[in-house]
DNA sequence: CGTCATTTTGCAAGCGCTTGCATTCACCCC
DNA sequence: GGGGTGAATGCAAGCGCTTGCAAAATGACG
């Protein structure tokens, strides 16, 4: 890396070893076409010379990139949003899984199409495929992109009309699990905290509404609070909401972070969780089990999801069409909604 | 991306536009050497043909990669460790900052030297420089790597004998701040929770010891608990530790996650925070302000740190040597150590 | 010692792009 | 209309690597 100008090339090694470049190439790539003795000698020389193969040239010759671009389409500035542990987990899994298949991971925070690369107005093809971790508000752009550039999978809200491969949790089901759980515990007036502009949140909201309907509970618009992801902002937004108590006795928060923010405000206002109000979150982030009270939450199978995305992408690269997939979610019952459960383990 | 086989090249565009490849190249790169009319025509054609420049070829010709490898040297399997929001924050900043300078980010979870790329025994030079986010247990390997491959900066414990550019928080100072704060509140017997095998934790421990010494408090080895990062494991490890109460009346936890785990166990055992025991964490993760009780913690300037790393690396790439830098830390006082402070804003 | 089958090696073309230099073109002026 | 000028274009080499194919070396064998 670096020091590129003075980098030693295969030609140099060839000269040192008194063989042709091709032989060096073959020796380094472990071809059987080169005598063992020669190979060892070349390897030795290469090692001593600190030779590092130029992967760009290699990939160019091989017509591959062995790189997958992973895009986290997150508005800049809203750093906090990223802090959601979801992203790290996902990134870690993707990196591992892609690594197993021999792919490198190129990170991006913005989608390729709004990239203003100086001096080049064109979308650079720098990867064999693209994974969108979240579709945010640009579904149609992704769709367009997928149509033009084929190998794409995305994480997010799966819907019937996707024309590219989307993998995502069963958000509707998760919303149902959360809401129904509280109703079964005897809660009557469940509030919803989340940003329904985002497709996944909308699905969770959908599950929430479905359950209310099936219990013949009318939707109370005042209990639907548009709450951003960022925990600081969520804290602010839910502050006035707390005042509405006792119009609600249960809260379905679209993420554990939001749940935490709400709980903090409730406690501060002297409202007890879970005694006065039950709270259910979403995500099952690592700390959710260890805060007070431990948060009941909907678990998303992120690791699994990451693996599935990679598998599908590899499939697509191999030329096979791939179906979208919806991953089951699971309710993790903890104290915050009134369960008599002791703290875990 | 993908569909590489059928990808349209500059040659194709040239043929379509009835000009030479060079003209296409110049047109796309916005050179003034091509007539405006021609340029527009070529751009139009390229757009319609869904042309995407092959960056590998481009970079090869330009003898650059415009890529920085960002390495999170994290043991595989211990995914949870990654969940530390620190990593996402850092990654986000690095991606943004490098992006501003026109660099892409290549993610890695393992250092280049233990990479077993099939068919190639050699360290591939695939980036102009490398950023290590954390040095973990392989300082000497990094040092070696830096010596051979020049452009390297690392985040971590800064020590006098570094021979490559290390940026990191003032961990010793942070440890002092945390410990001294509790002593000043009247606590006498402060426990230390953390993994002193890790250089940064060792430095925090160092600060802790310094303060104890300056207060003439002997170090009680039983109150130094080797606690891993992972919150689940931390929970287990600190469980027996809780029993030692009331041998301690304060806890300095090496990370907020550990602090959370400890607090959870304390409360479960009926020990009150901060009334019976003060707790100070480290990191100032987003949720630390919103849990109960809000955690007093040492803030690391991660965003700033990321920026500094990028600046230094750019400097190094430009041929200038760069000094290591230690970033000030700051104590954020919240309720968990007994401060009379209300919850924040 | 010559033959022939097997290794080993080297040659050269090619991956898709950039760029210095030569060439062509259009236009202007005397 | 010829010569000169500057702008626009094309040619060809080269970036560092791979690989099909031909050439050379090796060794077995009659």
pLDDT in tens, A91-105: 888 988 998 888 889
Highest mean pLDDT, choosing among A28-42, A108-122, B197-211: B197-211
Mark yes or no for CB contact B1/A87 under 8 Å. Answer: no
Asked whether residue B344 is assigned to any structural domain, the reply reads no
* Euclidean distance between CA atoms B54 and B66, whole angstroms: 14
Quick check: helix, strand or coil at residue A87? helix
pLDDT band, very low/low/confident/very high, at A84 (cuts 50, 70, 90):
low
Q: Which of B43, B62, B81 is the last residue of a domain?
A: B62
pLDDT score for B86: 79
Residues in chain B, overall count: 345
Does A341 have pLDDT greater than 80?
A: no
Same domain, B157 and B306: yes
- Give residue-wise pLDDT tens across range A163-218: 889 999 999 999 999 999 999 999 999 999 999 988 899 999 999 999 999 999 99
Phi, psi of B169 (to 5 degrees): -75, 160
State the Cα–Cα distance between residues A134 and A141, nearest whole angstrom.
Answer: 13
A89 Cβ under 8 Å from any chain B Cβ: yes
pLDDT at A173: 97
Nucleotide showing the shortest C1' distance to residue A60 CA? C15
**CATH code: domain of residue B38:** 1.10.260.40
Interchain CB distance below 8 Å, B286 and A80: yes
Task: Assess whether A164 and A280 both reside in one domain.
Answer: no
Nucleotides of chain D in contact with protein CB (under 7 A) are 7-12, 14-20
Is A29 domain-assigned? yes
B292 and B185 in a common domain: yes
Q: With CB atoms and an 8 Å threshold, state whether B76 touches A96.
A: yes
> Six-digit token pair at A28?
């380094």
Six token digits for residue A94: 């993707």
Show the tokens assigned to A213.
């309907």
Mutation target vs B (from A112, A116, A125; most B CBs, 10 A cutoff): A125
Indicate whether A135 pLDDT > 90.
no
Higher pLDDT, A32 or B340: A32
Query: What integer is the mean pLDDT of A297-305?
Result: 94
| Residues of chain B contacting residue A104, judged by C-beta atoms under 8 Å apart | 106-108, 126
Contacts of B235 in chain A (CB under 8 A): 290, 345
Q: Write the CA distances from A272 to A41, A264, A275, A342, B269, integer angstroms.
A: 74, 10, 5, 17, 20
Instruction: Assess if residue A84 is contained within a domain.
Output: yes
Same domain, A188 and A143: no
Sheet hosting strand A224-226, strand order edge to edge: A224-226, A190-194, A250-253, A278-283, A296-299, A330-332
Q: How many alpha carbons lie under 13 Å from residue B82 in its C-beta half-sphere?
A: 26
Answer yes or no: do B154 and B188 share one domain.
no
**A31 CA vs D28 C1’ separation (Å):** 25
Asked if residue A317 has pLDDT above 80, the reply is yes
| B287 and B312 fall within a common domain | no
Residue B238: domain span: 171-300+331-337
- Same domain? For A285 and A320 the reply is no
Q: Is residue A60 part of a domain?
A: no
Q: Does A80 touch chain B (CB under 8 A)?
A: yes
Q: How many domains does chain A have?
A: 3
Same domain, B179 and B78: no
Please say which residue of B21, B38, B62 terminates a domain: B62
Query: Based on the domain organization, do A179 and A163 belong to the same domain?
Result: no
Task: Select from B53, B83, B261 the Cβ nearest to the Cβ of A120.
Answer: B53
For residue A214, the model assigns a pLDDT of 96
Question: Among A265, A291, A267, A296, which Cα is nearest to A279's?
Answer: A296
pLDDT for A90: 87
- Binary contact (A150, B2; C-beta < 8 A): yes
The answer on B278 and B184 residing in a single domain is: yes
Q: How far is the CA of B10 from the C1' of D17 (A)?
A: 21
Among candidate residues B44, B62, B80, the one where a domain is terminated: B62
Q: Please check whether residues A109 and A194 belong to one and the same domain.
A: no
Q: Is the CB of B23 under 7 A from strand D?
A: yes
Q: What is the mean pLDDT of chain A?
A: 86
Does some domain include residue A59?
no
Determine, yes or no, domain membership for A114.
Answer: yes
Q: Do B107 and A107 touch (CB under 8 A)?
A: yes
Query: Taking a contact as any Cβ pair under 8 Å apart, which residues of chain A between 271 and 300 contact chain B?
Result: 285-287, 289-292, 294
Band of residue A342 on the pLDDT scale cut at 50, 70, 90? very low
Asked if A297 and A283 touch (Cβ cutoff 8 Å), the reply is yes
**Is residue B342 situated within a structural domain?**
no
Nucleotide with the nearest C1' to A54 CA: D16
- Listed in sequence order, the DSSP H helices in chain B are 10-17, 21-28, 36-48, 55-62, 79-83, 85-100, 139-149, 171-184, 199-214, 231-243, 256-268, 302-317
Q: What is the domain-level CATH number for residue A181?
A: 3.40.50.2300
The reply to whether A138 and A224 lie within a common domain is no
* CA–CA distances in Å: residue B178 to residues B207, B214, B296: 9, 14, 9
Q: Mind listing the pLDDT tens digit of every residue in chain B (345 residues)?
A: 444 446 789 999 999 999 999 999 999 988 888 898 899 999 999 988 888 899 899 999 998 888 999 988 766 555 444 456 777 788 888 988 998 888 889 988 776 666 554 444 566 677 889 999 988 767 788 888 887 767 899 999 998 878 889 999 999 999 999 999 999 999 999 999 999 988 899 999 999 999 999 999 999 999 999 998 888 889 999 999 999 988 999 999 999 999 999 999 999 999 998 999 999 999 998 889 888 899 999 999 999 999 999 999 999 988 888 999 999 999 999 988 875 444 343
């Amino acid at each position: 890396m670096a020091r590129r100008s003075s980098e030693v090339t295969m030609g140099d090694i060839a000269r040192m070893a008194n063989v042709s470049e091709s032989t060096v190439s073959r020796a380094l790539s472990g071809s059987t076409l080169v005598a063992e003795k020669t190979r060892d000698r070349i390897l030795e020389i290469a090692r001593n010379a600190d030779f590092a193969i130029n992967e760009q040239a290699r990939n160019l010759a091989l017509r591959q990139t062995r790189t997958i671009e992973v895009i986290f389409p997150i508005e800049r500035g809203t750093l906090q949003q990223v802090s959601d542990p979801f992203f790290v987990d996902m990134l870690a899994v993707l990196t591992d899984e892609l690594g197993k298949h021999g792919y490198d991971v190129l990170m991006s925070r913005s989608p390729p199409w709004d990239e203003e690369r100086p001096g080049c107005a064109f979308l650079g093809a720098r990867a064999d495929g693209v994974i969108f971790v979240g579709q945010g508000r640009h579904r149609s752009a992704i769709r367009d992109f997928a149509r033009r550039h084929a190998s794409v999978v995305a994480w997010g809200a799966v819907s019937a009309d996707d024309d590219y491969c989307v993998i995502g949790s069963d958000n509707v089901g998760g919303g149902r699990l959360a809401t129904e759980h509280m109703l079964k515990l005897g809660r009557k007036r469940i509030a919803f905290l989340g940003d329904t502009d985002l497709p996944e949140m909308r699905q969770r909201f959908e599950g929430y509404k479905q359950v209310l309907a099936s219990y013949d509970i009318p939707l109370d618009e005042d209990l639907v609070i548009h709450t951003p992801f960022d925990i600081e902002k969520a804290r602010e937004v839910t502050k006035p909401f707390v005042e509405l108590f006792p119009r609600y006795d249960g809260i379905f928060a679209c993420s554990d972070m939001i749940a935490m923010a709400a709980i903090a405000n409730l406690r501060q206002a002297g409202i007890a969780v879970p005694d006065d109000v039950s709270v259910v979150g979403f995500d099952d982030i690592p700390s959710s089990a260890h805060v007070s009270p431990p948060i009941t939450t909907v678990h998303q199978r992120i690791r699994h999801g990451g693996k599935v995305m990679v598998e599908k992408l590899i499939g697509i690269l191999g030329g096979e069409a791939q179906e979208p997939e919806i991953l089951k979610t699971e309710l993790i019952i903890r104290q915050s909604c009134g369960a008599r459960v002791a703290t875990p383990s």
